[in-house]
Amino acid sequence: SQTIHQWPATLVQPVGSPLSLECTVEGTSNPNLYWYRQAAGRGLQLLFYSVGIGQISSEVPQNLSASRPQDRQFILSSKKLLLSDSGFYLCAANRQADTQYFGPGTRLTVL
Amino acid sequence: KNEVEQSPQNLTAQEGEFITINCSYSVGISALHWLQQHPGGGIVSLFMLSSGKKKHGRLIATINIQEKHSSLHITASHPRDSAVYICAVTTPGAQKLVFGQGTRLTINP
Of B30, B42, B45, the CB nearest to A100: B45
Q: Which residue of B has its CA nearest to A45?
A: B99
- For B34-57, write each residue's pLDDT tens digit: 999 998 888 999 999 999 999 999
Chain A contact probe: residue of B96, B98, B104 with most A CBs at under 10 A: B96
- For A61-96, b/e burial (b = at least 16 CB within 10 A) is eeebebbbeeebebbbebeebeeebbbbbbbbbbee
Contact B95 A32 (CB under 8 A): yes
Of A38, A97, A99, the CB nearest to B45: A99
- For A51-87, write each residue's pLDDT tens digit: 999 999 988 867 899 999 999 999 999 999 999 999 9
